[in-house]
Amino acid sequence: MKLILLGAPGAGKGTVAKLLTQMDGSVQISTGDILRGAVAAGTELGKKAEAAMKRGDLVSDDLIMGIMEKRLQEPDCAKGFLLDGFPRTIPQAEALKLLLAKLGIKLDMVVSIEVPRDVILDRLSTRRTCSNGTCQAIYNVKSNPPKKEGVCDKCGSPVVQREDETEAAISHRLETYNQKTAPLIGFYEKEGMFVRVNATSSDAVIAAIKAKLGK
């Protein structure tokens, strides 16, 4: 399947994407994961993105489109992809439309996962992430802590609070979402491929997506 997952930070896009990959071999493409991996590895891309990410601002559309143009042409995308955290601005959505047309790829659906703000704030402030750039496993201090406190179950690296998940950065990211990303809903509604799912549990979101896709 070829989907775009929209939703505020903490809406559960990453969790839903991971579950969907198990259904049909589609790959999750998270621009946030790609950028954090680049920052951890100290690459040129990471250096360009780091300051904006720490503040909770978006990195430039050009940088993101450069990443996505290459990524969508990698062979593992042939079975399908779940775009998680991309596009995030109208210029990115417009550039993606041109890119997909150029590559002859047709999207199945754009899904917006809608979760109340208090749930999002609670989730983000209790979320912890593996600091290993190639692992980035997600934990939650309340609902899904690592077996050994502060240590990743999967790779043994330290599990930390992301620098953009302090209270100030979280509220800035939510504001950025409302200003820059929420307008994509209108964009995709006009394109006639938009579905809104109001659900806090990932299972309910998956069920709604499957029903819409007729799977």
Question: Catalytic positions, please?
Answer: 13, 88, 127, 162, 173
How many whole angstroms separate alpha carbon 68 and alpha carbon 157?
Answer: 28
Cβ-based nearer residue to ligand AMP, 56 or 133: 56
Q: Is 56 in the site for ligand AMP (CB under 6 A)?
A: yes
Sign for the pseudo-dihedral over CA of 161, 15, 80, 197: negative
Segment holding 160, helix H or strand E: strand 159-160
**List 4, 5, 28, 32, residue binding ligand AMP (CB under 6 A):** 32
Q: How far apart are CB 10 and ligand AMP at their closest, in Å? A: 8
Beta-carbon contacts of residue 140 (< 8 Å; ≥ 6 apart):
123, 126, 127, 128
Closest CA to 52 of 168, 174, 171, 164: 164
In this chain, which stretch among 86-94, 101-109, 120-128, 190-198 interacts with ligand AMP, using CB under 6 A? 86-94
**List 45, 164, 174, 197, residue binding ligand AMP (CB under 6 A):** 164
- Give the residue at shortest CB distance from ligand AMP: 32
Q: Is 165 in the site for ligand AMP (CB under 6 A)?
A: no
**List 81, 86, 139, 194, residue binding ligand AMP (CB under 6 A):** 86
How far, rounded to the nearest angstrom, does the alpha carbon of residue 67 sit from its chain's CA centroid?
A: 14
CB atoms within 10 A of CB 155: 14
Residue type, 214: G
Q: Is 9 in the site for ligand AMP (CB under 6 A)?
A: yes
Q: Is 31 in the site for ligand AMP (CB under 6 A)?
A: yes
